[in-house]
Structure 1
Amino acid sequence: MIPDNSKEDISGNNNHKFIKNKILKNLITIIFIMSMATLIGLFFKAFELNESSIILVFILGVLFSAIKTDGYIYGISTSIVGVLSFNFFFTEPYYTFIAYRADYPITFFIMLISALITSTLTSKIKREIKLSNMREQRIRLLYENNKNLLKAKNKDEIVEICNSSLVDILNRSVATAIVDNDENLKKIVVEIFDNEDANGIFQSPLEKCALKECFNLGEEIGCGTDLYQNAKTFNFPIKGHKNTLGVIGISCIDSVGLTENEKILLKSVSNQVALAIEREDLFEKTKKANLDAETERLRSNLLRSISHDLRTPLTSIIGSSSTILENYKYVDEDIKKELLKNIYEDASWLARSVENIISITKVDEGRLEIKKNLEVVEEIVEESIFIVKKFSDKHNIIVDIPDNVIIINVDGLLIEQVIINLIDNAMRYTPDNSEIKVKVMKIENYVYFEVEDNGEGLKGDDIDHIFDRFYSKTNRKSLEKRGIGLGLSICKSIIEAHDGEIEAFNNKLGGATFRFKIPCEEE
């Protein structure tokens, strides 16, 4: 198969054409400026002005030529052309390069030296200005890139910012690949410049090998280097403090490698990207360490709460059951029933606490499954109240539900658990025989549930932390009540999992009201 070199030929021809056009433009500039200087000199000659004025005109022409052209060679050429033009048009015999006067060679020499010095200094100043502007632009571009990298939220954004910045800086297509957690290169991310066919280049087997080799060796590889010289890309490693963090590939479709200035810019951007990646790695490690510490703290709190709060009902169950077993013949039936009732209530409380512990564990591990079905609100409320009354009948529970049937798409068992926890919370912080009202309302696209009591209500600090895990308030009238502070936290997790909201506030009766809403479809 004959290799297709048409693109290389076209690129080479375009490059030669650009150079020829540049040379032609500079020559035309020199001819125009020196022609204008000659015309002005002839004008001065017509008015019989001194030769020194004409010499200054030509030196001024040399100065303008040095400003308008590129490089020292054109300024030197203009100086020579200026001396020859002065000799040809303004020294006797006119229109020849012969000079009769003995002082003319000295005049020509001084004029040439002056023109050369003027041209050289002007070109040097012009070059210094160009370098200064280039440095200023480099600093500005690097500053913008660094500012954008500081705003990056993850490694994917870092790669996008890197590509975008380098495309703007180098005017070339860019591909970047960074390492994953296993120190392997991820899939490369490509950003195209000016409709270049860069995707095909970066995906070719040769370029993939060059990129991978650059990562393995940690050195520059590709176009303009000793390795993979035939590659159409220039690959530069992203080096961290300890290892290589990735590779940046720059397209060289026209087989023209990067200039030294472009390589300096690429290296600077690469260093900024390396710092951003290491900062993100450090943030992830810190975040994981904090998460592990928080998980351990929560686990310790949970174990401490369980061991403290479950000891009382277990002690009560053991005491009541041992009393019945050891004194069965001597204990009358009423006392036996009372002790058995205590055992039942304590066991029920233990069962609810264990259910809450299981639920909070599922929430922490992300295993809280929401199995939604169409449920009738009235049935959910009735089932919740029935379960509550099984372990406590010392409160009056009033139900306020609309006459029309309300159907919502929820996990019925989890919503029952929420209502049970809210009613149980109201029972624990209100005296016996007090009223607890369970109310349901449908407003627009939401169904509202309220559990209202007529107790002492919530204090300001309680309202702020009422849904926090392990938060359990205690007052004088509820010293005998117990709770591990998980019920309301679980309620919040379940309601939020249903895209709902829950809140707590004091009602007009002075007691506390817990309200949550769940979205429902319009009928």
Structure 2
Amino acid sequence: MKKLNIEKEGLYDYDRIEGRRLLNKEKLIINLLKSTFIMTLTILVSFIFYNMNLNEATIILIYILGVFFISITTEGYFFGIVASIISVLSFNFLFTEPYYTLLAYRADYPITFFIMLIVAIITSTLTSNVKEEAMIANLREKRIEALYRSNRKLLQAENKKQVTDFSGESLVEILNKDVMICLAKDNILEEENIYYKKNTKIKDMFISYIDKEAMKYSFNQKIPCGLGTNYYKNIKNYYYPIKGQNKIIGIIGINLNDENHLTNTENILLESISVQIALAIERENLFEKNRKVSLEAERERLRGNLLRSISHDLRTPLTSILGSVSTIIDNDEVLDSEIKKELLKNVYDDTVWLSQSFENILSMTRIDEGRLELNKKIEIVDEIVVEAISRVKKFSKSHNINLSLPDDIILINADGLLIEQVLVNLIQNAVRYTPKNSTIDIKIVRESNYIVFEIEDNGCGISKENIENIFERFYTKTKANQGEQRGIGLGLAICKSIIEAHDGDICVFNNNLGGATFRFSLPARGEV
């Protein structure tokens, strides 16, 4: 299970979309101190204006201004309304005759007090409403901005893992809650991806048995379940299905903890992000499907190339075999033994070449289908090389093959038969493209933690164009010398695949003798 901590606070903590912030004891004390300070300051300023012999209307405006500031700096309606009442009472108590009593001698004072109270309450209420609306607008703006960032990230996602990570981070940021996202593959929910908000203490809220059952129920029934619904309502999590175009593609889990349910706005945001996730996942599925179609088309193209290459390149040796055998059968009595031996040798050489070609074709087929299995075990390098040389010498006696081995016996952990096939292909390649009586040197050396194999000839070398493409499938020499037997272009590609499967490396270059050197290295496993 993946656990990712998101070091970000949520946008705001609201108990309802109307914008009422959660008031704890600390906030209550702060609001009370603000109200007391502003009201005290209002009374002091009123005394100053009173001593300056300003009329009562000015002092009333000072009180209304104080109520206005209290409404701006505190949360909710309570402190503004209380400040309105205190303003009327303190104005009556301090600035109307008889002073320092709540009695009023003039008949118009009660009306003045009533109007002052109404104006103060209306001012407080309107100010609080404006502030609440501003906070709601700010919250919506930040959530829309977060949705926009989430959408941009999802557009940049390169795989399903990034889609879930980006979406989980966005949900934690927007909802300020712990989030779980679980995608489905072949209609089966996969491993959960959990994203925590800052300072989360409980780390196993989505992995209980009842939660897994709720996830399966929501996935199978295609409906939300958990806290706040009629299904699995005793758990503390809320599960919402991610609905694709034709099927459910996953589940989003929200940890509600002590809350009863998500607010309407939170539900809308959750639905919006789930739609974004569904679109992103379906886009990735479509991309994967298109990639498979492209790979299948490429396989078909390679198969076509293979068939064309086989039909073209195998026709010559088959025709030669057929001609030699027909000549022997039709002229057996008149042919002398030397001519028969020459014809049979041609048949043998062409048959060996055909056998090797078919072995390469089968090996490449296994590589394409992912069935190239390495049967690794401890092998002695000397034995593999000597066996490969003996196989080649059966049909290439016109070349001088020299072997140079280190004094110590070297061991490698490899598939001996496949490494032998690599050596046979490389030696045969040197035999095929060098004149008769050429020398082929095979050198085995140890360099650091690798065993290096070199097959070196003194032929005509390889052109730059051929060196750049020589390990590609179906690639053959652009200009073959007359008399050279054309290959089907799979031997060197197979060599590269086998060496890379052993965590090795292979290359080719022209040497100082004028010929070419094929060099490959394999990890050493020890020596005796």
Under TM normalisation by the shorter chain, which class is it? 0.7 to 0.9
CA, structure 1 residues 371+222, in 2 after alignment: closer, same or farther (shift >3 Å)? closer
Separation in structure 2 between the aligned mates of residue 372 and residue 291 of structure 1, nearest angstrom = 29
Alpha-carbon offset, residue 202 of structure 1 = 5.0
Separation in structure 2 between the aligned mates of residue 423 and residue 49 of structure 1, nearest angstrom = 115
The AA in structure 1 aligned to 2:518 is F
The AA in structure 2 aligned to 1:269 is I
Query: Please, which of 283, 286, 298 is the counterpart of residue 282 of structure 1?
Result: 286
Alpha-carbon offset, residue 315 of structure 1 = 1.2
Q: Matched residues, percent identical?
A: 54
1:215 aligns with 2:219: yes
Q: Deviations over 1:95-132 (max 9, x none)?
A: 33444456656655664465445434432332233123
Alpha-carbon offset, residue 144 of structure 1 = 4.3
Alpha-carbon offset, residue 489 of structure 1 = 0.5
The aligned counterpart of 2:135 is 130
Query: Please, which of 165, 172, 180 is the counterpart of residue 167 of structure 1?
Result: 172
Of 376-385 and 113-122, more deviation after overlay is shown by 113-122
The AA in structure 1 aligned to 2:374 is I
The aligned counterpart of 2:388 is 384
Alpha-carbon offset, residue 324 of structure 1 = 0.4
The AA in structure 2 aligned to 1:177 is C
Alpha-carbon offset, residue 24 of structure 1 = 6.1
Task: Point out where structure 2 has 5 or more consecutive residues left out of the alignment.
Answer: 1-21
The aligned counterpart of 2:100 is 95
C-alpha contact 1:179 1:245 (8 A) present in aligned 2:
yes
C-alpha contact 1:173 1:198 (8 A) present in aligned 2:
no
The AA in structure 2 aligned to 1:155 is K
Query: Please, which of 490, 495, 502 is the counterpart of residue 498 of structure 1?
Result: 502
Alpha-carbon offset, residue 522 of structure 1 = 5.4
C-alpha contact 2:180 2:206 (8 A) present in aligned 1:
no
C-alpha contact 1:418 1:491 (8 A) present in aligned 2:
yes
Separation in structure 1 between the aligned mates of residue 521 and residue 207 of structure 2, nearest angstrom = 53
Match of 1:179, SS?
strand
Match of 1:499, SS?
coil
The aligned counterpart of 1:61 is 66
The aligned counterpart of 2:316 is 312
Separation in structure 1 between the aligned mates of residue 452 and residue 268 of structure 2, nearest angstrom = 64
CA, structure 1 residues 427+199, in 2 after alignment: closer, same or farther (shift >3 Å)? same
The aligned counterpart of 1:363 is 367
Match of 1:407, SS?
strand
CA, structure 1 residues 22+407, in 2 after alignment: closer, same or farther (shift >3 Å)? closer
Query: Please, which of 408, 411, 417 is the counterpart of residue 407 of structure 1?
Result: 411
C-alpha contact 1:422 1:488 (8 A) present in aligned 2:
yes
Query: Please, which of 496, 520, 523 is the counterpart of residue 524 of structure 2?
Result: 520
Alpha-carbon offset, residue 198 of structure 1 = 6.3
Q: Deviations over 1:242-292 (max 9, x none)?
A: 222222121233242122232233222212221221122112211211121
Alpha-carbon offset, residue 192 of structure 1 = 5.1
Separation in structure 2 between the aligned mates of residue 189 and residue 498 of structure 1, nearest angstrom = 35
Q: Deviations over 1:134-170 (max 9, x none)?
A: 1233134334444554555543454444444433433
The aligned counterpart of 2:256 is 252
The AA in structure 1 aligned to 2:94 is F
Match of 2:189, SS?
coil
Separation in structure 1 between the aligned mates of residue 237 and residue 308 of structure 2, nearest angstrom = 62
What TM-score do you get using the length of structure 2 for normalisation? 0.86
Matches within 5 A, 1:5-16: none
C-alpha contact 2:410 2:526 (8 A) present in aligned 1:
no
C-alpha contact 1:421 1:488 (8 A) present in aligned 2:
yes
1:374 aligns with 2:378: yes
Q: Deviations over 1:206-240 (max 9, x none)?
A: x4444333323433333223444434222212112
Alpha-carbon offset, residue 78 of structure 1 = 2.7
What TM-score do you get using the length of structure 1 for normalisation? 0.87
Matches within 5 A, 1:355-504: 355-478=359-482, 480-504=484-508
Of 324-333 and 55-64, more deviation after overlay is shown by 55-64
The AA in structure 1 aligned to 2:51 is A
The aligned counterpart of 1:13 is none
The AA in structure 2 aligned to 1:137 is K
CA, structure 1 residues 373+222, in 2 after alignment: closer, same or farther (shift >3 Å)? closer
Query: Please, which of 35, 42, 45 is the counterpart of residue 47 of structure 2?
Result: 42
